[in-house]
Structure 1
Amino acid sequence: MKNSLKISAIALAFAAFTFSAKAQTTTPTSTSTTTANGVRFSIGVDAGIPTGKLSDSYNFNIGGSVQADIPVANQLFVTVNAGYNSIQGKNNVIVDGATFSPTNIQLLPVKAGLKFFPVSNFYIQGEAGAAFALNKSDVGFNKTAAFVYAPQVGYQFQLGGKNYIDAGVRYEASTKFNSDVDNSKVNFFGLRVAYGF
């Protein structure tokens, strides 16, 4: 947990430093929409499908997120993202002959990373940070937070003016939430559809 918090603090400090330094310079040319100071904001809906052992007991993930894209160079942005994920348990799961319905896992991921546009409106993004378990005792976790990383690709559909739809597909994975259980990682393929302004 301490390492995850340190990594998140460093990532957020780097993003804040980059933002304050960028405010002193001109906004770079980019293929994507920016606000007057170059920063873009988006609010999105997140959904996903669990992978690995998690998929044995959980059906899908639903949540939301907010994100800021801060320009640092031509076609390159630093991203800061915070959200909420609820991984929905299946009904009547059989484990070792016993039937149960797992409790939904509730996570608060906080990530920072880089977003690069190799061609107009298409981007490659990578983020890392910490996911905080909001109901750790209910789901059998002995850690409050775990390291999380999320590579993503996506496309921005311009709506006119400074508005756009940001649609991205990612793989999000964490380290163990229970140090004694190898299968306590939370991994899923996800989709984020956001309104940007």
Structure 2
Amino acid sequence: MKKMKNSIKLMLAAVICALGFISTLQAQEYQKGFRLGFGLNTGYLTGDEYSVGLGADARLQYDVSKKTSLAFTTGYTHFFKDNLPDDGFIPLKMGFKSFLGNKFYVLGEAGAALGVINDTGNTFLWTPGIGYATRHIDLSVRYENYNEYLTNQVALRLAYGFSLKKKNR
């Protein structure tokens, strides 16, 4: 578990460095159409059952305007326990993303968490969050509420995204 905590500290240091890099990039340019992003997540779990959460996700986003997008997110999240078997689930969420300015946004998603380890079961999942996005980098913090699990999560996501729209030549 000590290795896991050191890995989280290293990931947080990388995120802080990425924030410095992100601040030098230009604002994200939005065009109506689809975007795809791949992210890594780490989280602080609020219950006593688990010690840390790690995951990866893919988010398909449809930009309906310069300020508003629809999002579908899935992936895998793993909850680590001290001295007990771990748990894992696949989140399936749909929601919206609304930009407050050029780079900062709010995000709201809802869906299901499908348990895949130790008969965890399925549960309703809702996720409000805030983030900062450039043309390719997306950094966000979100709260994940798992209706039937014994914990909730405050998670940090660092993602790389790109447009699926073909450029005119």
Letter in 2 for 1:196: G
**Residue 70 (1) aligns with residue 70 (2):** no
Aligned match of 1:170: 142
How far did 1:186 drift? 3.3
2:30 and 2:66 in contact (8 A); partners too: no
Partners of 1:124 and 1:66 lie apart in 2 by 18
Which of 2, 5, 28 is residue 32 of structure 1 equivalent to? 28
Aligned match of 1:157: 134
Partners of 2:71 and 2:64 lie apart in 1 by 10
Gaps of 5+ in 1: 1-30, 91-100, 159-163, 177-183
1:65 and 1:83 in contact (8 A); partners too: yes
Aligned match of 1:146: 123
Counterpart secondary structure, 1:83: strand
Which of 76, 84, 91 is residue 84 of structure 1 equivalent to? 76
TM-score, scaled relative to structure 1: 0.65
Which of 84, 87, 100 is residue 118 of structure 1 equivalent to? 100
Counterpart secondary structure, 2:80: strand
Counterpart secondary structure, 1:102: coil
**Residue 107 (1) aligns with residue 103 (2):** no
CA-based RMSD of the aligned residues comes to: 1.6
Which of 37, 41, 63 is residue 36 of structure 2 equivalent to? 41
Structure of higher CA gyration radius:
1
Partners of 1:121 and 1:66 lie apart in 2 by 20
Partners of 1:174 and 1:136 lie apart in 2 by 17
TM-score, scaled relative to structure 2: 0.75
Instruction: State the aligned residue count.
Output: 136
User: Which stretches of structure 1, 4 residues or more, deviate above 2 A after TM superposition?
Assistant: 31-35
Structure 1's 73 and 157: CA in aligned 2 closer, same or farther, altered over 3 A?
closer
How far did 1:34 drift? 4.4
How far did 1:57 drift? 2.9
Aligned match of 1:195: 160
Structure 1's 32 and 57: CA in aligned 2 closer, same or farther, altered over 3 A?
same
